[in-house]
Structure 1
Amino acid sequence: MRYSLSLYTVSLLPGVLAGWTNPFPVQKCNGMIIEDVDIDTVQSYFHRDLLTAHQLTQCYIDRINLLNPFFHTVIQVNPDALGIAKALDMERGLTGPRGPLHGIPILTKDNIATADKVPTTAGSLALLNSTVARDSHVAALLRLNGAILLGHANMAEFADYIAYDNYSEGYSDRGGQTRNCFNATQQTSGSSSGSAQSVVCNLCMAAIGTETDGSILLPAMHAGIVGIKPTVGRVSRAGVVPGSLSQDTVGPHARTFRDAAYILDAISGVDMRDNATFTAVTSGAATHANFSESVANTTALKGAKFGIPWDVLWSSTAGAVTHRAALLDVFSRMEAVGAIIYNNTNIPQIRDLQNPYGWGDALDTPMELWARTYLHVDLYNGIDGYLRDLQSSPIRSFEELLAWEDTNNASTGALGGGDIWVSGADNFERANATHGVTDEAYYLAKLWRHELSKTGIDTALTHITADGTVVQLDGLLVPMTGAGPYDSPSSGIPAAAHYPAVTLPVGQDPWQLPFGLGIWGTAFSEAKLIRYGSAIDDLVRWRGKPQYYSYNTTKIPFDVRWPGFFDTPA
Structure 2
Amino acid sequence: MDHWIEDWIIEADIPSMQKAMESGTVSSVDLVKAYQERIRKYDSKINSVLEINPDAMELAKALDQERKEQGSRGRLHGIPVLLKDNIDTHDKMHTSAGSIALANSIAAQDAFVAAQLRSAGAVLLGKVNMTEWANFMSATMWSGYSSRGGLVLNPYGPGELFVGGSSSGSAAAVAANFGAAAIGTETSGSIISPSSQNCVVGIKPTLGLISRSGMIPIAHSQDSAGPITRTVTDAAILLGALTGVDERDPTTLSSVGHSYQDYTQFLDACYLKHARIGIPRFYYKDLDEARLAIVEEAIDVLIKEGVTIIDPVELPCEQTEWDVNVLRYEFKKDLNDYLAKLAEHVPVHSLREVIAFNEKHAETALKYGQGTLIWSDQTSGTLSEQAYLDSKLKNEEMSRRMGIDYALAEHDLDALMFLGNEGGSDLAARAGYPIITVPAGYAATGVLTRGGYTTKGPQGLTFVGTAFSEPTLIKIAYGFENATKHRRPPQLE
TM-score computed with the length of structure 1 as normaliser: 0.81
| SS class of match (1:508) | strand
What per-residue deviation string (whole Å, max 9, x for no partner) do you get for residues 43-77 of structure 1? 11111111110011011111111222221100100
The code of the aligned residue for 1:508 comes to Y
- Asked whether 1:436 is paired with 2:381, we answer yes
Aligned counterpart for 1:529 among listed residues 452, 473, 483? 473
Which shows bigger deviation, 327-336 or 52-61?
A: 327-336
Task: State the distance in 1 between where 2:476 and 2:200 align.
Answer: 16
| SS class of match (2:357) | helix
Does the Cα contact within 8 Å between 1:230 and 1:249 map onto a contact in 2?
Answer: yes
Aligned counterpart for 2:352 among listed residues 384, 396, 399? 399
Task: State the distance in 1 between where 2:305 and 2:151 align.
Answer: 43
| SS class of match (1:252) | strand
Q: In structure 2, what is the equivalent of residue 446 of structure 1?
A: 392
What per-residue deviation string (whole Å, max 9, x for no partner) do you get for residues 394-447 of structure 1? 21111111111122125xxxxxxx55644x210000011113132222111111
1:476 to 1:28, Cα distance in 2 relative to 1, 3 A? farther
The code of the aligned residue for 2:419 comes to P
The code of the aligned residue for 1:499 comes to Y
Q: In structure 2, what is the equivalent of residue 15 of structure 1?
A: none
The Cα of 1:332 is off from its aligned counterpart by 1.5
Task: State the distance in 1 between where 2:126 and 2:360 align.
Answer: 29
Aligned counterpart for 2:251 among listed residues 234, 256, 276? 276
Aligned counterpart for 2:409 among listed residues 462, 477, 497? 462
The Cα of 1:128 is off from its aligned counterpart by 1.6
The Cα of 1:31 is off from its aligned counterpart by 7.0
Task: State the distance in 1 between where 2:283 and 2:51 align.
Answer: 38
What per-residue deviation string (whole Å, max 9, x for no partner) do you get for residues 206-233 of structure 1? 0000000000001100110110110010
Root-mean-square deviation (Å): 1.6
Does the Cα contact within 8 Å between 2:219 and 2:326 map onto a contact in 1?
Answer: no
Does the Cα contact within 8 Å between 1:136 and 1:239 map onto a contact in 2?
Answer: yes
The code of the aligned residue for 2:429 comes to A
- Asked whether 1:343 is paired with 2:311, we answer yes
Q: In structure 2, what is the equivalent of residue 313 of structure 1?
A: 283
The Cα of 1:489 is off from its aligned counterpart by 2.9
The Cα of 1:491 is off from its aligned counterpart by 1.0
Aligned counterpart for 2:10 among listed residues 19, 25, 35? 35
The Cα of 1:287 is off from its aligned counterpart by 3.5
1:31 to 1:345, Cα distance in 2 relative to 1, 3 A? closer
Task: State the distance in 2 between where 1:135 and 1:288 align.
Answer: 22
The code of the aligned residue for 1:154 comes to N
Does the Cα contact within 8 Å between 1:155 and 1:170 map onto a contact in 2?
Answer: yes
Q: In structure 2, what is the equivalent of residue 172 of structure 1?
A: 146
Task: State the distance in 2 between where 1:44 and 1:290 align.
Answer: 18
Task: State the distance in 2 between where 1:258 and 1:171 align.
Answer: 30
The Cα of 1:32 is off from its aligned counterpart by 6.3
Task: State the distance in 2 between where 1:63 and 1:329 align.
Answer: 34
Aligned counterpart for 1:501 among listed residues 426, 429, 435? 435
| SS class of match (1:169) | coil
The code of the aligned residue for 1:451 comes to E
1:435 to 1:367, Cα distance in 2 relative to 1, 3 A? same
Q: In structure 1, what is the equivalent of residue 339 of structure 2?
A: 387
| SS class of match (1:143) | helix
Identity of aligned pairs, percent? Answer: 36
The Cα of 1:449 is off from its aligned counterpart by 1.5
Task: State the distance in 2 between where 1:31 and 1:432 align.
Answer: 48
Task: State the distance in 2 between where 1:29 and 1:400 align.
Answer: 50
Task: State the distance in 2 between where 1:494 and 1:474 align.
Answer: 14
The Cα of 1:289 is off from its aligned counterpart by 4.4
Structure 1 unpaired stretches of 5+: 1-26, 353-365, 411-417, 464-470, 481-486, 550-570
Structure 2 unpaired stretches of 5+: 446-455
Does the Cα contact within 8 Å between 1:167 and 1:420 map onto a contact in 2?
Answer: no
Task: State the distance in 2 between where 1:28 and 1:44 align.
Answer: 19
Does the Cα contact within 8 Å between 2:241 and 2:261 map onto a contact in 1?
Answer: no
Corresponding pairs, count: 478
1:97-108 mapped onto 2 (5 Å cutoff): 97-108=72-83
Task: State the distance in 2 between where 1:276 and 1:99 align.
Answer: 27
Does the Cα contact within 8 Å between 1:309 and 1:476 map onto a contact in 2?
Answer: yes
Does the Cα contact within 8 Å between 2:201 and 2:439 map onto a contact in 1?
Answer: yes
TM-score computed with the length of structure 2 as normaliser: 0.94
